[in-house]
Structure 1
Amino acid sequence: MGSCKEEERKQQKSVWVHGPIIVGAGPSGLAVAACLKQSQIPSLVLERSDCIASLWQQRTYDRLKLHLPKQFCQLPLLDYPKHFPKYPTKHQFISYMESYAKHFCIEPKFKQLVEKAEFVNGIWRVKSQDCEYISKWLVVATGENAEPVIPQIQGLDRFNGNVVHTSGYKSGYEFRKQKVLVVGCGNSGMEVSLDLCRHNASPHMVVRNSVHVLPREIFGCSTFGIAMALHKWLPLRLVDKFILLMSNLILGSTENLGLRRPETGPIELKNITGKTPVLDGGALNQIKSGNIKVMEEVKEITRNGAKFMDGQEKEFDSIVLATGYKSNVPFWLKGSDFFTEQGMPRRPFPNGWKGENGLYTVGFTRRGLLGTASDAIKIANDIADQWKINKEWDNICSSYVILQI
């Protein structure tokens, strides 16, 4: 049986790609492909799923909206439609992605799961389940959120109720009138808890670590936008102090609600660790009213519920794991030490977009779509410079051959 599979792989066809290979057809991959197309450089986009932006289409809950205003979440060369609201919905964002791909005539090859990519003898060899693609350039665009993180919680496998990661959560309607344990207190944990409340469920949200909760807007302006504007003139720590001062005035103290703030400011913390502050969309009021109950860290899961570190024990009907995502790059990119074991570039922002031997990365800045747009432009410009040199060299060689004839 093993020899048959080996024989199949030997017969696997190889395709030379006249341009970069881009792995991933999410916002990052599409952004690079569009920027390359503007420079008249072809590319091949490989996508393991059957659609673009598969994380958004297949792994997000129904009521999801962009956490930041649309001007901070658009890709290069094409703005959102003017009639879109300030905070586009999930479905509006997907339609923007589809329009973006259509506008730039980007046609990914779907259902191409990359099993291995390696730089061999001066070229990149990228193997999917049925083909090997070869190119001078490889763009890793699978991003920070490729695979769900499933925590190791004692007893989780013996729980009698339903256990779902937020990647499989669609709506609180499925959990109506249930008592639900939500593990995680980031933006997803807060929004899922709020959604559960709106469907008459009883969410208990586990807060394991400290967390910054900020108002989405300050005086009608985006908190993130204000922070960016201030940072042009002030040190980051002063910006953080102002944001926290305004947050306490608008939201009140979160410490009294069991939401302890980290010692490092929210924007500085995101830049250092990638941990995004929670932008409150209404969950905080539900916590204050007692509809969302804040729980300490889980000690173990029982057959019918959970035991907590503070000694409490409660029964639950379902568990939602709002525990985030991780990169999957270490599983398929071989022979390169550009990425850490966690699948993130070793070089910090803004220098993590380019590796050696024609290797590029996009979507790993921990700065959302703004970082993606910035890196996509840099990558396309860098490849365009090489493309121009190669083209000039080809022309010189062609002229030389003609002269010799």
Structure 2
Amino acid sequence: MIPTSETESTVVVGAGTAGLIAAFELRQVGIFPRIFERASRVGDQWRARHPQLTLNTHRDLSYLPSMRYPVGTPAFPKRDAVVAHLEDFVAKESMPIEFGVEVDHISISDGVYQLATNKGTVIARNIVIATGRDRKPIIPAWTGLERFKGKVIHAAEFGSPRDYDGKRVLVVGSGNSGFDILNHLAKQNTAALWLSSRHSPTLVPKRVFGVTVHRLSPLLAYFPTRLVDAALVATSYVAFGDLKRFGIGKPLTGGATRLKEGTALGSDDGAVKAIKAGTIKVLPEVQSFDEDHVYFKDGQACLPDIVISATGYASDLERIVGNLDLLDKQGRTLINGAQQLSHLPGLYFIGMRASIIGDIGSAKVQGRAIARAIRRRLATEI
């Protein structure tokens, strides 16, 4: 659909899980937003990842509104199951997504927003931005990186684990992406496998004594952060024991605290066993590169064929809303969910904070709150 000069009630930017949830909740209260998605189809961000990728959150806490995963879906759905779930939801709810529409810039004048897109300008009273925290992969500018003759990729480009058989692989970063990759590579026949960790991670097992740990997250969400930090440390110790002699010490901050700061937890599914067995060697922070080697802060070095940078993502929101005075120094939004800034009434963000209950569960809570807030706002304008 071609944008018009008519003022829209509400626009949702992004048709990933958070955007679809926001659109669904808005429709539930009688608001039918336009939905812009820059990709050509739903689920493209998931399709771009390796086929073995799974949700780190349990299926029963990670389904879209009105529609559970089919019977027989594993507890932690794989990439293709997630994509199918998104497609089925869009079809079931007849979501009128406008594909191929990229929002380049948002401005405000007299309480009304102008969205500059690749297909023209759209005017709206309310905007829900659901473009995600993981829009732009980050690879640090390590000293000497440009001299390195090996291959350097971001975790987003991981591909098939089989591609790494016979290769010497260094994974940099011990967060969610780093451990996801290590979980897979630990099952492959790599020639050598290293993990470089700047800070000791908070690790959680997928199961303890047969119980899926994430199923307990809705309960943990009610407790103070410091208590959840302690619970996660205890869970990690029960599952893994003391990992200090293997190069993984006590985290500087707790897992729940790190979630609030935007860092997702590492989820183990075989990597810790490989670390204990010596298959994965843990090294400290990267210091520099030369043509063949990677050097570390403690003076050690390794000789990898491939370096996988699991060093996080940026939201890339500076380009879209950097002029609106709502981002912190790290480019993160000052608000999330139904929160508002006084100088930006009607502008909302969804899915911009990590949560103990998982992104999808959190987006459901935020989506309902945003829908109620926009309904109240529109009612006062009548």
Instruction: Give the TM-score taking structure 1 as reference length.
Output: 0.86
Per-residue CA deviations over 1:166-203 (Å, capped at 9, x if unaligned) read 11111122222010111111121122123223331122
Q: Structure 1 residue 39: deviation in Å?
A: 2.5
Which of the numbers 137, 145, 157 marks the counterpart of 1:168?
Answer: 157
Q: Does 1:381 align with 2:381?
A: no
Q: Does 1:345 align with 2:333?
A: yes
Q: Does 1:113 align with 2:102?
A: yes
Looking at structure 1, the residues matched to 91 and 214 of structure 2 have their Cα atoms a distance apart, in angstroms, of 30
Which of the numbers 133, 145, 150 marks the counterpart of 2:139?
Answer: 150
Gaps of 5+ in 2: none
Where does residue 264 of structure 1 map in the other structure? 253
Task: Report the AA paired with residue 138 of structure 2.
Answer: V
Q: Secondary structure at the match of 2:46?
A: helix
Which of the numbers 259, 280, 286 marks the counterpart of 1:292?
Answer: 280
Kindly indicate which of the two structures has a greater share of residues assigned to helix: 1
Tell me the C-alpha RMSD between the 2 structures.
2.3
Q: Secondary structure at the match of 1:51?
A: coil
**Change over 3 Å in CA distance of 1:128–1:246 after alignment to 2:** closer
Contact 1:139/1:361 (CA < 8 Å) preserved in 2? yes
Q: Structure 1 residue 55: deviation in Å?
A: 1.9
Looking at structure 1, the residues matched to 44 and 370 of structure 2 have their Cα atoms a distance apart, in angstroms, of 23
Task: Report the AA paired with residue 48 of structure 1.
Answer: R
Where does residue 241 of structure 1 map in the other structure? 230
Looking at structure 1, the residues matched to 85 and 26 of structure 2 have their Cα atoms a distance apart, in angstroms, of 19
Q: Does 1:358 align with 2:338?
A: no
Where does residue 89 of structure 1 map in the other structure? 78
**Change over 3 Å in CA distance of 1:333–1:220 after alignment to 2:** same
Looking at structure 2, the residues matched to 15 and 241 of structure 1 have their Cα atoms a distance apart, in angstroms, of 54
Task: Name whichever of 332-341 and 320-329 sits farther off.
Answer: 332-341
**Change over 3 Å in CA distance of 1:92–1:334 after alignment to 2:** same
Which of the numbers 301, 306, 327 marks the counterpart of 2:289?
Answer: 301
Where does residue 275 of structure 1 map in the other structure? 263
Q: Secondary structure at the match of 1:344?
A: coil
Looking at structure 1, the residues matched to 262 and 322 of structure 2 have their Cα atoms a distance apart, in angstroms, of 25
Where does residue 251 of structure 1 map in the other structure? 240
Per-residue CA deviations over 1:281-339 (Å, capped at 9, x if unaligned) read 11000111111111111111111121222222222111111111111111111542233
**Change over 3 Å in CA distance of 1:362–1:131 after alignment to 2:** same
Contact 2:178/2:266 (CA < 8 Å) preserved in 1? no
Task: Report the AA paired with residue 307 of structure 1.
Answer: Y
Q: Secondary structure at the match of 2:274?
A: helix
**Change over 3 Å in CA distance of 1:290–1:91 after alignment to 2:** same
Where does residue 57 of structure 1 map in the other structure? 47
Task: Report the AA paired with residue 52 of structure 2.
Answer: R
Where does residue 31 of structure 1 map in the other structure? 21
Task: Report the AA paired with residue 264 of structure 2.
Answer: T
Contact 1:365/1:372 (CA < 8 Å) preserved in 2? no
Q: Secondary structure at the match of 1:137?
A: strand
Aligned residues between the structures: 376
Task: Name whichever of 211-220 and 289-298 sits farther off.
Answer: 211-220
Where does residue 6 of structure 1 map in the other structure? none
Looking at structure 1, the residues matched to 113 and 265 of structure 2 have their Cα atoms a distance apart, in angstroms, of 38
Where does residue 398 of structure 1 map in the other structure? none
Per-residue CA deviations over 1:355-377 (Å, capped at 9, x if unaligned) read 63211110112222222111111
Q: Does 1:47 align with 2:37?
A: yes
Looking at structure 2, the residues matched to 265 and 174 of structure 1 have their Cα atoms a distance apart, in angstroms, of 35
Q: Secondary structure at the match of 2:12?
A: strand
Where does residue 372 of structure 1 map in the other structure? 363
**Change over 3 Å in CA distance of 1:137–1:203 after alignment to 2:** same
Structure with max Cα Rg: 1
Contact 2:337/2:348 (CA < 8 Å) preserved in 1? no
Looking at structure 2, the residues matched to 334 and 206 of structure 1 have their Cα atoms a distance apart, in angstroms, of 33
Looking at structure 2, the residues matched to 75 and 229 of structure 1 have their Cα atoms a distance apart, in angstroms, of 20
Where does residue 225 of structure 1 map in the other structure? 215
Contact 2:340/2:346 (CA < 8 Å) preserved in 1? no
Q: Structure 1 residue 50: deviation in Å?
A: 1.6
Contact 2:338/2:370 (CA < 8 Å) preserved in 1? no
Q: Secondary structure at the match of 1:32?
A: helix
Contact 1:353/1:362 (CA < 8 Å) preserved in 2? no
Task: Report the AA paired with residue 56 of structure 1.
Answer: W
Q: Secondary structure at the match of 1:115?
A: strand
Looking at structure 1, the residues matched to 46 and 5 of structure 2 have their Cα atoms a distance apart, in angstroms, of 30
Task: Report the AA paired with residue 67 of structure 1.
Answer: N
**Change over 3 Å in CA distance of 1:61–1:293 after alignment to 2:** same
**Change over 3 Å in CA distance of 1:191–1:231 after alignment to 2:** closer
Which of the numbers 315, 330, 342 marks the counterpart of 1:327?
Answer: 315
Gaps of 5+ in 1: 1-11, 394-405
Per-residue CA deviations over 1:47-87 (Å, capped at 9, x if unaligned) read 222222332122x2221111121122223333222332211
Q: Secondary structure at the match of 1:87?
A: coil
Looking at structure 2, the residues matched to 13 and 79 of structure 1 have their Cα atoms a distance apart, in angstroms, of 34
Q: Structure 1 residue 113: deviation in Å?
A: 2.0
Contact 1:162/1:317 (CA < 8 Å) preserved in 2? yes
Q: Secondary structure at the match of 2:114?
A: strand
Q: Secondary structure at the match of 2:99?
A: coil
Looking at structure 1, the residues matched to 378 and 339 of structure 2 have their Cα atoms a distance apart, in angstroms, of 21
Looking at structure 2, the residues matched to 371 and 325 of structure 1 have their Cα atoms a distance apart, in angstroms, of 19
Per-residue CA deviations over 1:362-400 (Å, capped at 9, x if unaligned) read 01122222221111111112222334455xx4xxxxxxx
Task: Report the AA paired with residue 123 of structure 2.
Answer: I
Where does residue 194 of structure 2 map in the other structure? 204
